[in-house]
Structure formats: structure tokens, C-alpha cells
Amino acid sequence: MAEPRQGEIWIEKYRPRSLSEMVGQTRIVPLLQAYVQKRSLPHLLFAGPPGTGKTTAALCLARDLYGEDWRSCFLELNASDERGIDTVRGTIKNYARSAPLGEVPFKILFLDESDNLTSEAQASLRRTMERYSSICRFILSCNYSSRIIEPIQSRCGVFRFKIYQPEEIHSYLERIAKAEKRTVLSEAYDAILRLSEGDMRRAVNLLQLSSALAETVDPDTVYESAATPLPREVQDMVNAAISGDFHGARERLFTLFTERGASGEDVVKAIHGYLATLAVPDQERVRLVDALAEVEFRIVEGASERIQLESFLTRLVLLRSTLHPGSSSASAPSAR
């Protein structure tokens, strides 16, 4: 890991500065290092989930290729900010056709989140890539390669980045915690791994946020910093509904929204993780997952988070009557 610099957020402070410092992506890094050694590379397409090292790989490649003067031969643009054809015809084309500096005969233009470019802009980009390929190489980064038109994909070497393995993230976080002289409990690391879901950037951010809240980072601190419901809170809500206490489950859901500040999608994810542990027949579990998927879809489409999740709680209440015919719902205080 490179020497840390003061006054920066940790994801930048501890970002690798060379391909040799990168964690994971063991199939991709050696190929990029070979390009650096030969000082030759095709257009590249980096595809994969967020936080898997796509931007870091592009920056490290540029530093290894150009050395200290890498900034004069490397331009980074974000297609989410400027996604129209005017950007391709203006900024991108002007940079691509200018002569490179230094010993390497080409420059690099890194276009992050390129899957946000319109189809018209991508068609124009393809022509630009063809015309100026002798003096400019393009590195496109995207979450979904299917949104990149085929003519561009066929002109690029495609590298598919996978999510980081838990042990890779855990090792990286330990190095950061040691450098920052922070005490982190092993259970806190487990919580960060669970919440980050293979996203290294999110994992490092969670570690920094948690470290700012307490001298000793524990699981509760991690969940508090993430504004994510604690697993036991969601479990209590689900168990209350299954036991027939709809009003009690509804009160717990209300608390998650008002006191914990959780979003509907956070609650859906937490419920989904807990469903796998429920002692119910597989057929019922399948129905619950299907119902939960419908709830998530409606929330994403703009429906009321509370109403949709309450509808799922009623499904859990009805599950009790299916498993135990003749049972009645427990009495509970009136809901808010």
C-alpha cells in the first residue's frame, strides 16, 4: 500500500497507486501489467459492479505506463455528468485528436460509467475511437456491458471485474485500521462484509464512518453508521408477524423508519437475508421470496415504502394460519 496522505477520505488516502498494489482481480491485473511492459494496449472495456476496482485499475495503469507525468497523458470523464452527443463531439474528440506527450505513442481517455451514454453518443464515440486509435486509447468503464453497443464492444478488450471476496476485503480493512491505529472487533468486520456485499469502496467508507463514531468499532456502531436496521430488529419484526402479532410487527416497522432512519430497500434486504433461516417449508419460503420481490419492485417504482412492507407483514401473519390451522392473532396495542 502506498504511503498514506493526510487530510483525505480513506478511499482516496489508501487507493493503490500501482497495479502491483491492487487487491483481488487476479486474472485482470497480470494482463494489464503485460500491457504496461510492452507499452501497447488496445481499447479496453471494464465491466462489473460498483466498488470492484475499475477506476483504480485505470488510474494505476496510467501511473505505471506514464510515470510521474501520467496526468498529462490521461483524461478522466464521467458519462453520468455529460452523456450526450455534444460531449463526444466536443470534449472527447478534442482530446483524442491532440498529439501525445512523452515516449509512449498514445494517450488514454478514461470514460467512467460509459453505459450512461445515449445510443447516439455511443455511435459517435465509436467513430472517434476508430479515427484516432493511433494516438489515443479509450478505457470505458461500466456496470452493465449489455448497455454498450456491440460495435464498441467488438473494438475493445473486455475485462469483467468480479466482486471482492470477503477475505480480500477483510485483509484490506485490517491494513487500514492498523495504519489509522483503530480498534475494530472481529464481529464489526463481519458486519461490514455483510453490508458491503463485495463492494470495497462501501466497505472502506463504512470503516471510516464507524471509526468516527467510537474508539472501538463494534457491530452496532457499523449498523448505526450505515443507517441500516440491525439484524435483530428485523428478526424481531418478522417473528412478531409470524407469531400473529401484526400490530407489534407494524410498530417495529414504524420504529425502523422513524428512529433508525432505515429506507424501505434496506428493510427489504434485511428481511431477505433472514428468510433463509426461517423454519418454514421450502414451498412457503419460495412464496415469501416472490412476495418480497414484488414489494421491492413496487418500492423502486415509487410506491409507499411503509404500505408495501406492511402488506408483506400481513403475508407473514397469514403464514402462521397456514402452518398452524385454527390459530388466532395475538392481541396487541393499537398501531400508530
- Residue 43 neighbours by CB distance under 10 Å: 19
CB 126 within 8 A of CB 112: no
- CATH code of the region 231-323: 1.20.272.10
Residue ranges matching CATH 1.20.272.10 in the chain: 231-323
CATH architecture of the domain 10-160 equals 3-Layer(aba) Sandwich (3.40)
pLDDT of residue 44: 96
CA angle at 200 for the pair 305 and 21, rounded to the nearest 5°: 170
Domain with CATH 1.10.8.60 in the chain: 166-225
Amino acid at 334: S
Residue 189: per-residue pLDDT? 95
How far CA 114 is from CA of 46, 104, 181, 200, 298, in Å, comes to 10, 25, 38, 21, 28
**Can you tell me the distance from the alpha carbon of 20 to that of 30, in angstroms, rounded to the nearest whole number?**
9
pLDDT in tens, the chain (336 residues): 444 445 578 999 999 999 999 998 999 999 999 999 999 999 999 999 999 999 999 999 999 999 988 999 999 988 766 555 666 777 888 888 888 887 888 999 999 989 888 888 888 889 999 999 999 999 999 999 999 999 999 999 999 999 999 999 999 999 999 999 999 999 999 999 988 989 999 999 999 999 988 889 999 899 888 877 778 889 999 999 998 899 999 999 999 888 877 889 889 988 998 888 888 888 888 999 999 999 999 999 999 999 999 999 999 998 866 655 454 444 333 333
DSSP string, 80-102: TT--SHHHIIIIIHHHHTSPP-S
Report residue 295: phi and psi, to 5°.
-60, -45
pLDDT of residue 213: 87
| pTM, 2 dp | 0.77
Domain span(s) for CATH 3.40.50.300 in the chain:
10-160
Give the CA count within 13 Å in the CB-facing half-sphere of 115. Answer: 15
226: DSSP letter: T
We find that the CATH architecture of domain 166-225 is Orthogonal Bundle (1.10)
Helix (H) / strand (E) containing 203: helix 200-213
Q: For residue 252, what are the contacts with CB-CB under 8 A and spacing of at least 6?
A: 233, 236, 237, 240
